[in-house]
């Protein structure tokens, strides 16, 4: 079955909100956004090297440990996991990391643990691994799109928000991931 068409009026409204955030970004915020995913990828490389898995698996581990977690803590948890130390987070996040490693070592795609409908973790892993056309939709990306509801977006709403980020970013000569990172940084008030 073909996906339901996007509501262009909603995409335009989300784009207007996102553009308002991006257009008030400082040069320092632009610089942070331009390097954010490349810096995160370097951490994924460290995790991958430590575990003897692919960079995609390292990125997936970072993403699996990321829900409702500040970035510095996310990195610390992922490094603890990679070094075999106790990981103080939800058990299902650790189980996902174990599944990621098992999939990767079996020659399968470690991103399979996220499924096709994840608005945050799947796209976040792809962004960290280097796919800058994907858009991560977390609570801060929702807020930057003008949505204050903390619940996960519906599948259609997620597609509309991703389309809005892609539109605004490309209008400004940015990749969708960098546009999302920039709006996220402005909305949060910093890159952490």
> Cα separations (Å) of 96 from 1, 27, 64, 182, 184?
29, 37, 6, 28, 25
**Summary count for the chain: helices (H), strands (E):** 9, 0
> Cα separations (Å) of 21 from 6, 55, 72, 106, 171?
23, 31, 23, 43, 14
pLDDT at 123 over 80: yes
pLDDT at 85 over 90: yes
Model pLDDT, residue 192: 64
Q: How confident is the model at residue 135 (pLDDT cuts 50, 70, 90)?
A: very high
Which sequence spans correspond to the domains of the chain? Answer: 8-188
pLDDT at 84 over 80: yes
- Closest to 46 measured CA to CA, from 34, 57, 36: 57
pLDDT at 44 over 90: yes
* CA 35 from centre of chain: 14
Residue percentage of the chain with pLDDT more than 70: 95
Residue 135 phi, psi (nearest 5): -125, 125
């Amino acid at each position: 079955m073909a996906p339901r068409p996007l509501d262009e009026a909603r995409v335009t409204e989300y784009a207007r909100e996102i553009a308002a955030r991006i257009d008030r970004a400082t040069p320092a915020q632009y610089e942070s956004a331009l390097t954010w995913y490349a810096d995160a990828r370097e951490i994924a490389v460290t995790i991958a090297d430590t575990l003897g898995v692919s960079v995609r698996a390292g990125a997936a581990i970072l993403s699996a440990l990321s829900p409702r977690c500040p970035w510095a803590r996310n990195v610390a948890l992922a490094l603890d996991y990679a070094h075999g130390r106790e990981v103080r987070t939800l058990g299902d996040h650790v189980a996902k990391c174990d599944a990621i490693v098992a999939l990767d070592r079996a020659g399968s795609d470690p991103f399979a643990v996220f499924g096709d409908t994840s608005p945050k973790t799947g796209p976040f892993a792809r962004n960290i691994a280097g796919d800058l056309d994907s858009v991560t939709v977390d609570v801060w990306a929702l807020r930057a799109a003008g949505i204050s509801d903390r619940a996960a977006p519906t599948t259609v709403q997620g597609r509309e928000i991703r389309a809005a980020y892609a539109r605004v970013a490309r209008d400004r000569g940015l990749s969708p991931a960098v546009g999302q990172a920039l709006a996220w940084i402005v909305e949060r008030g910093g890159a952490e």
